Amino acid sequence: MKFGIMVNEGPYTHEASDTAYLFAKAALEKGHQIHRIFFYHDGVNNSTKLTEPPQDDRNIVARWTKLAADYKIDLVVCVAAALRRGIRDENLAEGFRISGLGQLIESGIQADRLVVFGD
Amino acid sequence: MNETTGGVEMDEEVSGVVKKFLYVNRKAPYGTIYALESLEVVLIAAAFDQDVSLVFMDDGVYQLAKGQHTKSINVKNFSPTYRALEGYDIEKLYVEKESMDARGLTAADLIVPVTMLSTAEMADLMESQDVVLSF
């Protein structure tokens, strides 16, 4: 099955991005496809390379970057939501790109299922 | 980047496919940004010629309430935008009756015409959709 994924909450504060990551990883390992992962609302904070969690904690941003590299996943950060929250190309982690909300709608059209992770 | 379609070049793959998109609004208009950013998605979605419906339930029914005065909290009153949705061919607006009743609201308290659905009817509406986005 081809999935689209939407992440609506920031890392660490909320479990949504962890759940989205674990879902994506499990789906890929089962042989499903991920069309795109779209970050919206505070979810855009998943994409800043300035994130520096304590050594003994998971690095949520680096984890997305690795997932994108391992499985060639398109990680898209909403431009309007990103600019509001100080996310720009300069501090964008590897594997992410900034684009518009149309990428989300397109994902809804092209994927078999669009799964939303958030409150 | 194409501004109207939010960064997507309309191509053969996207054009021609019409899916049923449902936007579920469950939160109060101010206090969190969900309602405003949901509306931004809906406005972009309009450019894609999809079959769009909006649902307002739980505190989300307050998004359509008349008489929103936001000056003293320093945020923009974006409720007039709901009245403009008709111009984008977004005309299917549903509110959950139970949510309205619990908050003492009636259709006369809302800024736009809506269809009132019971919780059970709402479940049927959701079941009939291809894509459900919850905010």
Please report the domains of chain A, with CATH numbers, ordered by start residue: 2-117 (3.40.1260.10)
Count CB atoms within 10 A of the CB of residue A27: 19
Range 116-135 of B in CB contact (< 8 A) with A: 130-135
For strands A75-78 and A96-99, give the pairing.
parallel
| Gap between the Cα atoms of B56 and A67, Å rounded | 35
Name chain A contacts of B40, Cβ cutoff 8 Å.
Answer: 80, 101
The rounded mean pLDDT for chain B is 92
SS3 letters across chain A = CEEEEEECCCCCCCCHHHHHHHHHHHHHHCCCEEEEEEECHHHHHHHECCCCCCCCCCCHHHHHHHHHHHHCCCEEEEHHHHHHCCCCHHHECCCEEEECCHHHHHHHHHCCEEEEECC
Listed in sequence order, the DSSP H helices in B8-75 are 34-45
Name chain A contacts of B132, Cβ cutoff 8 Å.
Answer: 114, 116
Decide: B22 and B133 in contact? Cβ < 8 Å. yes
pLDDT at B1 over 60: no
Whole-number pLDDT of residue B2: 61
pLDDT digits (tens, 9 = 90+) for B12-47: 456 688 999 999 999 999 999 999 999 999 999 888
Q: Which of these is catalytic: A27, A37, A67, A78? A: A78
pLDDT digits (tens, 9 = 90+) for A55-66: 999 999 999 999
Name chain A contacts of B3, Cβ cutoff 8 Å.
Answer: 100
CB-count burial class (<10 Å; 0-12, 13-18, 19+) for B13: exposed
- Enter the tokens of residue B68: 């929103």
Decide if B47 touches A, using CB distance below 8 A. yes
| Gap between the Cα atoms of A90 and A61, Å rounded | 15
CATH number of the B20-134 domain:
3.40.1260.10
Among B19, B40, B132, beta carbon nearest to A109: B19
Decide if A75 touches B, using CB distance below 8 A. no
Write down the ipTM of this complex. Answer: 0.91
The rounded mean pLDDT for chain A is 97
A78 is a catalytic site residue: yes
Inter-chain touch B44–A109, beta carbons under 8 Å: no
